[in-house]
A and B are shown apart, each in its own frame.
Chain A
Amino acid sequence: MRCISKKEMVLFCYGEIAEKQKREIENHLKECGRCFRLYEESKKFFSTLKIQKKEISSLEIEALIKAVRARLTDEKGENLREKVGYFFNGLWYGIIFRYKVASVIAGIIIFLLLLPTVKYKKTPTSNLSMEILQVEMELSLEDEDISEFDVYYNFNDLEKYSS
Chain B
Amino acid sequence: MLAHKEGEIRQCVEKFLGGKENSFDSLVRLIASDVVNIACYYVGNIEDAKDIAQEVLIKLYRKLKGFRQEANISTWIYRIVINTSIDFIRRKRKVISFKEGITKDRKATQNIKDEIVRRDKKVLIEEALERLPSRQKEVIIFKHFEGLKINEISKVLGCSESSVKTYLYRAVENLKKIIGGKNALYI
Q: Could you list which residues of chain A lie within 8 angstroms of chain B, going by C-beta atoms?
A: 6-7, 10-11, 14, 16, 41-42, 44-46, 48-56, 58, 60-61, 64-65, 67-68, 71-72
Q: Could you list which residues of chain B lie within 8 angstroms of chain A, going by C-beta atoms?
A: 25, 28-29, 32-33, 36-37, 40, 46, 49-50, 53-54, 57-58, 61, 121-122, 125-126, 129, 143-145, 149-150, 165-166, 168-169, 172-173, 175-176, 180, 185-186
B residues near A60, Cβ cutoff 8 Å: 50
B residues near A11, Cβ cutoff 8 Å: 165, 168-169
Q: Which residue of A lies closest to B51 (CB)?
A: A67
Partner of A64, one of B32, B122, B169, B175: B32
Whole-angstrom distance between the alpha carbons of A160 and B150 in the complex? 127
B residues near A41, Cβ cutoff 8 Å: 185-186
A residues near B25, Cβ cutoff 8 Å: 65
**Smallest beta-carbon distance A14→chain B, Å:** 6
Take A45-B186, A51-B125 as given contacts and tell me if A10 and B169 are in contact as well, using a CB distance cutoff of 8 Å.
yes
A residues near B36, Cβ cutoff 8 Å: 54, 56
A61 touches B32 (CB 8 A): yes
A51 touches B54 (CB 8 A): no
The 8 tightest CB contacts between A and B, nearest first, are A7-B169, A45-B186, A56-B33, A61-B32, A68-B57, A16-B150, A10-B169, A10-B172
Take A6-B173, A41-B185, A41-B186 as given contacts and tell me if A56 and B61 are in contact as well, using a CB distance cutoff of 8 Å.
no
A14 touches B143 (CB 8 A): yes
Partner of A71, one of B29, B54, B122: B54
Q: Which residue of A lies closest to B27 (CB)?
A: A65
| Main SS at interface, chain A | helix
| Main SS at interface, chain B | helix
B168 touches A68 (CB 8 A): no
B129 touches A51 (CB 8 A): yes
Q: Which residue of B lies closest to A11 (CB)?
A: B165
A52 touches B175 (CB 8 A): no
B186 touches A44 (CB 8 A): yes
Whole-angstrom distance between the alpha carbons of A67 and B53 in the complex? 11
B residues near A56, Cβ cutoff 8 Å: 32-33, 36
A61 touches B29 (CB 8 A): yes
Partner of B122, one of A46, A50, A55, A61: A50
A72 touches B125 (CB 8 A): no
**Smallest beta-carbon distance B90→chain A, Å:** 21
Whole-angstrom distance between the alpha carbons of A11 and B162 in the complex? 11
A residues near B180, Cβ cutoff 8 Å: 45
A72 touches B186 (CB 8 A): no
**Smallest beta-carbon distance B26→chain A, Å:** 10
Q: Which residue of B lies closest to A75 (CB)?
A: B58
Q: Which residue of B lies closest to A41 (CB)?
A: B186
A residues near B61, Cβ cutoff 8 Å: 68, 72
Q: Supply 5 further A-B pairs (C-beta < 8 A) apart from A11-B169, A44-B185.
A: A7-B169, A45-B172, A54-B36, A61-B29, A64-B54
